[in-house]
Structure 1
Amino acid sequence: MTLITAGALVAAQSTTAVAASGAHPAPMANPYNPQTGHTYRHGVIPTRTETTEMRAWAKTHSAATTGPETLSYGGGIDGIGVLSGHAKVYLVFYGTQWGTKTTASNGDAAFSKDPDKAAGAAQQMFKGIGTNGEKWSADLTQWCDGPNVKAGATSCPSNAAFIPYQTGGVLSGVWYDNSKAEPTNATGHQLGVEAVAAAAHFGNKTAAANRDAYYIILSPHGTDPDGYQNPSTGYCAWHDYNGDTTLTGGPVSSPYGDIAFSNQPYNMDLGASCGVGFINSPGTLDGYTMTLGHEWHEMMSDKNPAGGWTNNTGSSYNGEENSDECAWLNPGTAGGAANIKFGSFGTFAEQASWSNDTNSCAISHAILH
């Protein structure tokens, strides 16, 4: 006779009951996903090596109950599911390690310790979204929130609050916070504190002012925010909101309502692992603009994670957001990454995002709203 603990017995009985009822058991976490054990890393972008390992593991651990990549609505957190207005994107250059700030001829902020000229690319990209009739961002117009959208829905009713096409760019402000150096290994909590400070800096001091706001915390060259360079659990970027209780260091208090933010490392420091040369040659900023676009797409469709649109199918994609499902698809393949022209603001490497209504990774999509 084999003795088992009471806890193991309960687990065994629970598994038997699930099997008997036909219900779907909770999916096993992919051990190669950098969000495993770090649940606050919403929309985390694995390195290319980790992506390969994740997909190999997933092939033998899939149990989808619907289409494996279908996203469903999480019901909202604090009444927020998506960013259903015109986005206000704020770029926060965090820490004195960015060096001396100057102003480029096009009005962009430039920094003496930005060897790859990431600052200018970020500013031009967000100025360019919604210009030149670009359709890369238009897949967002299928997502929605509001009281008429039921939790678990996989499409939106006509009376929902839809994300509108982001005509005319989304960049609303740039701040160089050189009041102190960024910690070498900033925690999720510290990054969230910086986002709340940015809200105050830009005068967004009410929940209403922050309903459509998004703060990108851009770390300087040579730093390692939230251990993104860890060879075992590293990643390229993630997004979250201040109220997430799983943030390293704990949630961040905000007197200004919920604050959506992202952790954008200077991920060129990881080279090809975070996308250098993924589309172009030398393509130094390919991965940087792809990860900026990835997290922006996910924030738009899942502003307070995971109250928006995420994968709840029980498949190998379970828990992922729209851009996660299409990360690191090779250029020239179906749904693969591509260069996107944003009018006079330039051409940028971007990736596709999952689209329920076309059942595909959409690098281009019709404008619906």
Structure 2
Amino acid sequence: MRIRRLAVTLAAVTTAGLVTAGLGSAAQAAAPAPADTASGVTASGVTVHDVHYGEKPIGGHVAGAPLQAKATSANTLSVRSSGKQGVVSPTPKVYLVFWGSQWASDPAGVAPDLQAMFKGLYGSADTWGTILTQYCEGVATGTTNCGTKGTHVTHPASSPLGGVWFDNASAAPTNATAAQIAAEAGHAAAHFGNTTQAPNLNAQYVVVSATGTHPDGFPNSGFCAWHDKTTSSYGKLAYTNLPYIPDLGAGACTTFTDGRMLSGIESTETHEYAETVTDFWPSIGWNGKNGEIGDECQNLDAYVPLSTGTFDLQGLWSNAANACATKG
């Protein structure tokens, strides 16, 4: 499991709870800001430590570098909890949240591209997503092969894109803290009407930041993106912090060196999507010595044709194949 620890001031966390004003409807404005369950306050009451999972490092991709020369037992993923909820996302739903009025500028065309990718990530045209169906919840801790047991991830028969929200009533923070990003996931849950735990057992909120912004210190924090969970009055929420990766230039966060500006954000978001599906409330889901399903395969990207276009999908670890794969 790749884990990053960072510190934010208590004042920043308090501010996160106050930025709801002006962010859309009265329902969002009144929504309580969620707090990261991995956070804590030191004895002095000054510092909050957030733990984030599934972090894809900017330097993690090396073009042309080999994957594991030989697959070993260290690569095998096993489930970390026998729980029947929050281990995986059996019927995934993705909610894209384009945060802030800064989305009036989208020079790389990220917003339409991500929507097109998720609109095509289903059915017979999507052989990449079928890798996920071998993983399940409701089986004994330490299980590495679900077989017919447990509740498996289901391959979507229709688009997993549950909704799109341009939250552009006001500007997003230029340097959003982790707590503010988590709060935006809570606002999104309210916006989409997912106000009980039931729909949030499969909903993942992808908070996409606009060009020129620096969510959680991006890019100086060294990550392409990360996913995590947070708590709210709507239950636990799974969410992703997805920065505007094209700001790093072509070739960042992907193994491809062909100059295509959108490859890095597609590769990164499919990394985070798959890790959220298989480790929904980190880290009780599927993990191995080298991390989650995407962490194991950061040196494998493939252009995969879907019904809505061809996209850079990152390789995923398959226990069934005992290898990284880009199709099931």
Matched residue, 2:302: 338
Task: Single out whichever of 352-361 and 152-161 deviates more from structure 2.
Answer: 152-161
Distance in 2 (CA, whole Å) between partners of 1:185 and 1:357 is 42
**Following the alignment from structure 1 to structure 2, what is the Cα–Cα distance between the partners of residues 181 and 77?**
39
Partner of 1:261: 239
What TM-score do you get using the length of structure 1 for normalisation?
Answer: 0.71
Residue in 1 aligned with 2:249?
Answer: 271
1:220 matched to 2:188? The reply is no
Secondary structure at 1:259 match in 2:
strand
Q: After the TM superposition, which parts of structure 1 deviate over 6 Å for at least 4 consecutive aligned residues?
A: none
Q: Tell me the SS of whatever aligns to 1:115.
A: coil
Q: Deviations over 1:61-119 (max 9, x none)?
A: xxx9x71211111106783200012x2211101011112xxxxxxxxxxxxx0000000
CA distance in 2, matches of 1:262, 1:154: 26
Q: 2:267 aligns with which of 273, 290, 300?
A: 290
The answer to whether the 8 A contact 1:280-1:286 is kept is no
**Cα distance, 1:76–1:260 mapped onto 2, change above 3 Å:** farther
Q: Deviation of residue 274 (structure 1)?
A: 2.5
What code does the residue aligned with 1:324 have?
Answer: D
Contact 2:84 2:137 in 1 (8 A): no
Q: Secondary structure, in 3 states, of the residue corresponding to 1:41? A: strand
| Aligned counterparts of 1:77 and 1:199: Cα–Cα separation in 2 | 23
Name stretches of at least 5 consecutive residues in structure 2 with no aligned partner: 7-49
State how 1:229-244 maps to structure 2 within 5 Å.
229-230=219-220, 233-243=221-231
Matched position secondary structure for 2:114: helix
2:325 to 336, 347, 362: 362
Counterpart among 136, 147, 166 of residue 144 in structure 1: 136
Unpaired stretches in structure 1, ≥5 consecutive residues: 1-28, 100-112, 244-253, 330-335
Counterpart residue type for residue 41 of structure 1: H
Q: How far is the alpha carbon of 1:282 from its aligned partner?
A: 2.5
Identify if the C-alpha distance between structure 1 residues 175 and 133 changes in structure 2 by more than 3 Å, giving closer, same or farther.
same
Aligned partner of 1:207 in structure 2 is 197
Cα distance in 1, alignment partners of residues 102 and 109 from structure 2? 14
Partners of 1:256 and 1:97 lie apart in 2 by 28
The count of corresponding residues between Structure 1 and Structure 2 is: 280
Alpha-carbon contact 1:132-1:341 (below 8 Å) kept: no
Aligned pairs for 1:297-336 (under 5 A) are 297-311=274-288, 313=289, 317=290, 320-327=291-298, 329=299, 336=300
Q: Structure 2 CA distance, aligned partners of 1:158 and 1:123? A: 33
User: For residues 78 and 94 of structure 1, do their structure 2 counterparts lie closer, same or farther at Cα, with a shift above 3 Å needed?
Assistant: farther
- Superposed CA deviations along residues 250-289 of structure 1, whole A, max 9, x for unmatched, are xxxx11111111001001111246236x436331100011
Considering only aligned residues, what root-mean-square deviation do their CA atoms show, in Å?
2.3
1:68 corresponds to: 74
- In structure 2, give the amino acid aligned to 1:118: V
User: Shift in Å at residue 140 of structure 1?
Assistant: 0.2
**Mapped partners of 2:164, 2:268: distance in 1:** 19
Counterpart position of 1:4: none
- State how 1:109-188 maps to structure 2 within 5 Å: 113-146=105-138, 149-188=139-178
| Percent of pairs with identical residues | 40
Q: Which is strand-richer, 1 or 2?
A: 2
Q: From the CA coordinates, give the structure whose radius of gyration is larger.
A: 1
